[in-house]
Amino acid sequence: MADKPVCLIGGGGFIGSGLRRHLGARRIPAVILSRSPVPDARENEIHVNLAEQSWEDIRTRLRRFEYAAIIDLAYASVPTSSFADPARDVAENLGGVLRHLELCAQLRTEKFVYVSSGGTIYGEGEGRPHKEDDPLFPLSPYGITKLACERYVHLYHHIHRLPAVIVRPSNIYGPGQQPFRGQGIVSTAFGAAFEGRPVTVFGDGSSVRDYLFVDDLCEAIEAIVTQADAGSILNVGSGEGLKVIEILRMIDQLMHERGGTLELAFEPPRPFDVHYNVLDVSRLHAIAPWRPRTALGNGLAQTRDWVEQFLTNRSSP
């Protein structure tokens, strides 16, 4: 990315925190938009609290810059919570992306990156890695609103020439992913183990997932910002499948080093848990030399240490 600033919409979440580290390490100016205050402002950052001003004022402020990229990460739900209130999922997430697109169509930017969901948008599939052109039959309201958001982004690309690229990450894990939020079994498993509680496994643990470390996702997004053509859709994942039970065993091993263990509590599978979700990343490989750099054991150990610190900070007065 160049000297121009990068704008993060919804920079206060898990992937946002990873991108902020990434931009900070490269001293790239960053404009962080979020609905709640974002802690630990870095030198390279300007923070804009969406709740504190009108869209009119926000637009005026944002138009002062020309951006290398605007990256939209904002989302108000996770797959499990979207079932409790699909109408709220619709109103908040689709209403949100429509406001962002309307805003961004009026800004100068070289790319608009929409972060979708490779983990939920495909649905069950046929037991082989999902290609970007595969049929999309999501099995959660969350996945359906992500699909609709992708198509609004495509519409703005088609009608308003927004230089939009869609990124579909696999199961992202790593430091910054808070446990017990209904998304991210890795941090939730570490959190449960540190608290001496079992982690719930839906089904027998044979479901296959594609785990990618958050820093590797951030490097992929940087490659996509500079290399991908506007209008493209790209999976980002390891491309390799791992059974849930296998990653939980690795987490258990890593807890032994802290004198702990991971207990499992098996529950019946839920109808929206697909058996197999691995992403085919050949399209990304064809446009950029990006490859994941963080070995799973290393990434899990970093996550363990971050969750330990997070729980310690939370419990201290």
* Residues at the site binding a second copy, with contacts judged by CB under 8 A: 86-87, 90-91, 94-95, 98-99, 133, 135-141, 144-145, 147-148, 151-152, 154-155, 158-159, 271-272
Count Cβ neighbours within 10 Å for each residue of 71-104 and write b for 16 or more, e otherwise. Answer: bbbbbbbbbebbeeeeeebbebbeebbeebbebb
d(CA 151, CA 211): 26
d(CA 117, CA 122): 9
Q: Please identify, using beta-carbon distances, which residue of 43 and 133 lies nearer to a second copy.
A: 133
Q: Please identify, using beta-carbon distances, which residue of 158 and 275 lies nearer to a second copy.
A: 158
Neighbouring-strand partners of residue 212: 172
d(CA 58, CA 65): 12
What is each CA distance from 25 to 30, 40, 212, 215, 260, in whole angstroms? 12, 14, 20, 12, 33
CB of 127 to a second copy, least distance (A): 17
User: End-to-end CA distance of the chain, in Å?
Assistant: 41
CB of 259 to a second copy, least distance (A): 42
Q: Please identify, using beta-carbon distances, which residue of 1 and 153 lies nearer to a second copy.
A: 153
CB of 152 to a second copy, least distance (A): 6
- Specify whether the CB–CB gap between 63 and 107 falls below 8 A: yes
Q: Please identify, using beta-carbon distances, which residue of 91 and 295 lies nearer to a second copy.
A: 91
Q: Please identify, using beta-carbon distances, which residue of 145 and 177 lies nearer to a second copy.
A: 145
CB of 160 to a second copy, least distance (A): 9
CB of 21 to a second copy, least distance (A): 34
